[in-house]
């Protein structure tokens, strides 16, 4: 069941990302310095690459939850949330700040791993 739970967790988090960035598309595009003409939404490479990355994150989160003895749904959610908020988002913030990009990208891009990893923790502890 390990691989099934990892794939399910990755799918849920990846779909959350699709919904999240769909909801904030206009402000994210503007803050990123892009425009609709620069985006090639038909190119499958970013979608495939992001799913592979999400799959890797789900796999290591499963390992971390197991090694930490986290077995409850609430524990999985909290662990995923804290890892996203206090490990991933600070790295994103560092990149954004050094690149001189708008600070609004921090919350836009930081919310995805924070909520996404909480969802992964939820799914992984359900199996």
What does the pLDDT read at residue 1? 62
Does the global pTM surpass 0.75? yes
Provide the residue-wise pLDDT of the chain in tens; the chain has 127 residues.
699 999 999 999 999 999 999 999 999 999 998 887 777 778 899 999 999 999 999 999 999 999 999 999 999 999 999 999 999 999 999 999 999 999 999 999 999 999 999 999 999 999 8
CA angle at 84 for the pair 10 and 50, rounded to the nearest 5°: 40
Q: What is the DSSP string of 33-99?
A: T--TTT--TT-SHHHHHHHHHHHHHHHHHHHHHHHHT--SHHHHHHHHHHHIIIIIHHHHHHHHHHT
* Euclidean distance between CA atoms 73 and 120, whole angstroms: 10
Cβ(11)–Cβ(55) below 8 Å:
no
CA angle at 12 for the pair 93 and 31, rounded to the nearest 5°: 30
Instruction: State both tokens at 45.
Output: 């490479």
């Amino acid at each position: 069941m390990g691989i099934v739970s990892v794939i399910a967790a990755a799918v849920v988090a990846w779909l959350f990302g699709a919904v999240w960035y769909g909801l904030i598309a206009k402000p994210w595009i503007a803050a990123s310095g892009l425009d609709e003409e620069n985006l090639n939404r038909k190119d499958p490479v970013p979608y495939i690459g992001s799913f592979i990355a999400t799959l890797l994150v789900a796999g290591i989160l499963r390992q971390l939850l197991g090694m930490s003895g986290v077995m409850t749904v609430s524990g999985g959610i909290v662990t995923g949330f804290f890892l996203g908020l206090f490990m991933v988002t600070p790295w994103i913030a560092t990149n954004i700040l050094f690149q001189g990009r708008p600070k609004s990208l921090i919350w836009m891009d930081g919310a995805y791993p924070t909520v996404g990893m909480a969802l992964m923790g939820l799914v992984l502890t359900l199996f």
